Structure 1
Amino acid sequence: MNSLPTLTNFLAALLPAASHTSFRERARACAGAILALLVTGLLSAWLLPQEPSHIFLVGSMGASAVLLFCLPASPLAQPWSVVGGNVVSGLVGVACVRWLGDTVAVAALAVALAIGAMFLLRCLHPPGGAVALSAVMGGPALHAAGFEFPLVPVLLNSVMMVVMAMLYNNATGRRYPHQQQPAHPNPHATQDPVPTLRLGFKPEDLDAVLKQYNQVLDVSRDDLEEIFLQTELRAYQRRFGVITCGDIMSKDVATAEFGTALDVAWGDMRAHKVAALPVLNRARRVIGVVTQSDFLNHSGLDDLRSVRHKLRRFLSRTGLTHSEKAEVVGQIMTTKPAVATLTTPIVNLVPLMADSGFHHIPVIDAEQRFAGIVTQSDLVAALYESRLAS
């Protein structure tokens, strides 16, 4: 009866990296690999000559599938790495067997030269080594194909696999190709680093360590930096305890609806001395946030001398037709705002408020209904109190 858990623990010990992924992620990777290899194989068989000795699907595509669907953010799995690495390695392997023969020594040399070529061309892709090895040791059929082999089927297979990875990964919520993200731009367009980078480790520290590490990492630099930042937040949370948004949020909050008139919303913000109003539908679900910045941005305030006149004209309900001028909150609000839940640890809000420029985060309950709001003032006070209590 206990054999299944024992087997599961044994496999988890053998595959520690896989144990950190959810069952859903593993199932998604398996489904993507099946679909991509099936489509690539069938299309290649249909497009290529129907000869018994002709190869239409290269074995290294199985290894490429592992990278494309298990590690789509890896630098080794990006389109140029897959296509360039496989094709360049195939060319190197064919050249070696043409000029030096098909011995084991030549095969080893071909793989080494393929690795060097991939490093030089910045298209390192581990399955490329298998392509170079196959070109030398694949037998008479591959030798007869000559320099056609890196193009047909290697190039064809590689392109199809990359296209399938683009379609499948993006359809299932994973960004591919994985572009390097800009390094924490300051939302205020100044040269200062964002607040979370002014203490703790800096990008320069990470670059120095990576240079000293001097090995190829199977993770992008921006993902690695994000992992470190999240680790710091979890360490802070463990040290100073878990404070949730439900603990510190304001509950008696002035709100607006889509059809609330602009002058009414502006008056509520002035009366309550707040800079933002959550916008709710009739089910009390958050559909947006309207801020003072939204009013200023939509009223055309370009110079200080015209502020009072233009803002008064913008808030008035006369003078312009409905098509020429916004009249209700729903026309100027920020839609799809960042939200938190009652159980969200407040440390999770630090990057949003400190680095991304958010000043107000609506909080929702288990039924996705509006429960309150956390402001920068709430967050600062809570973090200060947590340090005093520690």
Structure 2
Amino acid sequence: MPPLAELMRRLAPSLAPVSRTERLRATFGALLGIAITGFASSALVGGGAANLPLLIAPMGASAVLLFAVPSSPLAQPWSLIGGNIVAAVIGVTAAKFVPDLFLAAALGVSGAIAVMLALRCVHPPSGAVALTAVVGGPAISQLGYQFVLWPVLANSVLLLASAVAYNNLTGRTYPHRSVATSAPRENEPPESVRLGFSSEDIDAALAEHDVLLDVDRGDLEMILRRAEVRALRRRSGELTCADVMTRDVIGVSPETPLLEALDIVRRHHVKALPVTDDNARVIGILTQTDLLDKVAWGPKGPRLSLTQRMRLTAQNGTAPGSVVREVMTSPAKTARPETPLADLVRLMTSAALHHLPVVDRHSQLIGIVTQTDLIAALLLSRTRRSDQAAA
């Protein structure tokens, strides 16, 4: 590559691809946000304060973040409000007590960065807020600390309100909520049994990198896990659920007595029984966990545990009869025969499933996939690739 081309490649940022729709959404959002902030500020001040600044330049940079990259940690409400207030206070203070203009400007911006990092409210346009407090001219200087409330806080609140309304109306959740960092679901498997890396691995890698990244930590984890699944799909080739499922599957009806269901589990050496209705449609699944946690086993046979009996009585208004319907897990997650192997792995690991019924387009039972089936298929796929590489 020629030296000039190599230099341009290094200087140009490597941005993720953005659709035309997203570009238009961000552009129109900034237009509305700045317009609303300006007109609302003018209406609030009225005609009695002609020399009072209505809209400061740093709001343009804030609009870029709030409307073009609303998922950025630098664009969140605390970053915007906290960063701008901190920067305004430090900038005004530097302007008041440091006679030299350029030294005051340097101290204002650097001090704002230090405090924003400490308070976790980093917002790049806030550096311009601190600079404006120092070099903004007589109209800004005369305001003193009033500059913090007007126009900085007022502009920030108006722009934030515009961003919250516009982003959510156009399909962008704001304030941003990361999927990967949301509360774990009940029975979600520990990270030690999931595929690939753990959250602790990501935290350790970020600590080693030791650079402030303009990406939400949870979003980063979600992207990496999606890449992991895509890599698994590529490595597993064309394998689907139909290639690995057990077709000779035994099901039970919801009215099957628990003692009979236990006998089926023992005789056939299985750990889960799909529960089907009269049309063979899957309505639930009975697992060993259901039989152990929800059933009390005594000399006279199985009976529902006290907790389960009270819950069912409260729900149905009648005494339970110790049948499968009362202890099965319902609704049951299912897969289709054409489901790729990688999607099966993701589904079963994310929901801590050891068994997954397979149904046709009519939701009728045609097979079941177990963790053992998945492991065997993955090992076979890897062996085939190794043989092909050696050939």
* Fold-level similarity (TM above 0.5): yes
Which residue of 2 is the match for residue 357 of structure 1?
A: 352
1:129 deviates by 0.6
Deviations 1:223-277 (A, max 9, x none): 2233333333333333442434465567899999xxxx94279999979975445
Which residue of 2 is the match for residue 263 of structure 1?
A: 255
Which residue of 2 is the match for residue 26 of structure 1?
A: 23
Q: 1:128 to 1:384 in 2, by over 3 A?
A: same
Native 8 Å contact 1:254 1:277 kept in 2: no
Which residue of 1 is the match for residue 342 of structure 2?
A: 347
Which residue of 1 is the match for residue 370 of structure 2?
A: 376
Which residue of 2 is the match for residue 227 of structure 1?
A: 223
Which residue of 2 is the match for residue 6 of structure 1?
A: none
CA distance in 1, matches of 2:35, 2:213: 30
Which aligned pairs between 1:1-390 and structure 2 lie closer than 5 A? 16-19=14-17, 21-50=18-47, 51-101=49-99, 103-171=101-169, 172=171, 174=173, 176-178=175-177, 181-182=180-181, 188=187, 193-196=191-194, 200-245=196-241, 248=244, 262-263=254-255, 275-277=273-275, 290-292=284-286, 301=294, 303-305=296-298, 308-310=302-304, 345-359=340-354, 375-377=369-371, 378-390=373-385
CA distance in 1, matches of 2:205, 2:314: 60
For the aligned residue pairs, the C-alpha RMSD in angstroms reads 4.8
1:27 deviates by 3.4
Amino acid at match of 1:384: L
CA distance in 1, matches of 2:283, 2:206: 41
1:112 deviates by 1.2
CA distance in 1, matches of 2:137, 2:314: 80
Size of the aligned set, in residue pairs, is 358
CA distance in 2, matches of 1:23, 1:338: 37
SS of match in other structure, 2:92: helix
Amino acid at match of 1:64: S
Higher mean alpha-carbon deviation, 378-387 vs 149-158, is at: 378-387
Native 8 Å contact 1:240 1:386 kept in 2: yes
Native 8 Å contact 1:187 1:355 kept in 2: no
Amino acid at match of 1:354: T
CA distance in 2, matches of 1:162, 1:339: 43
Q: 1:32 to 1:375 in 2, by over 3 A?
A: farther
1:213 deviates by 1.7
CA distance in 2, matches of 1:57, 1:334: 57
Amino acid at match of 2:173: R
Give structure 2 stretches of 5+ with no counterpart: 1-7, 386-391
1:343 deviates by 6.2
Which residue of 2 is the match for residue 5 of structure 1?
A: none
Amino acid at match of 2:370: Q
CA distance in 2, matches of 1:44, 1:67: 21
Amino acid at match of 1:263: E
CA distance in 2, matches of 1:61, 1:364: 55
CA distance in 1, matches of 2:314, 2:208: 64
Deviations 1:279-335 (A, max 9, x none): 9xx9x9x9x953337x959xx947545983349xx99xxx99966689998xx9756
1:168 deviates by 4.0
Q: 1:302 to 1:262 in 2, by over 3 A?
A: closer
Native 8 Å contact 1:187 1:357 kept in 2: no
Deviations 1:31-60 (A, max 9, x none): 443343343333333223433333333322
SS of match in other structure, 1:219: coil
Native 8 Å contact 1:33 1:65 kept in 2: yes
Which residue of 2 is the match for residue 3 of structure 1?
A: none
Native 8 Å contact 1:166 1:176 kept in 2: yes
SS of match in other structure, 1:308: strand
Amino acid at match of 1:107: A
1:124 deviates by 0.8
CA distance in 2, matches of 1:275, 1:358: 13
TM (norm. structure 1) is 0.70
TM (norm. structure 2) is 0.70
Q: 1:75 to 1:173 in 2, by over 3 A?
A: closer
CA distance in 2, matches of 1:278, 1:139: 77
1:14 deviates by 5.3
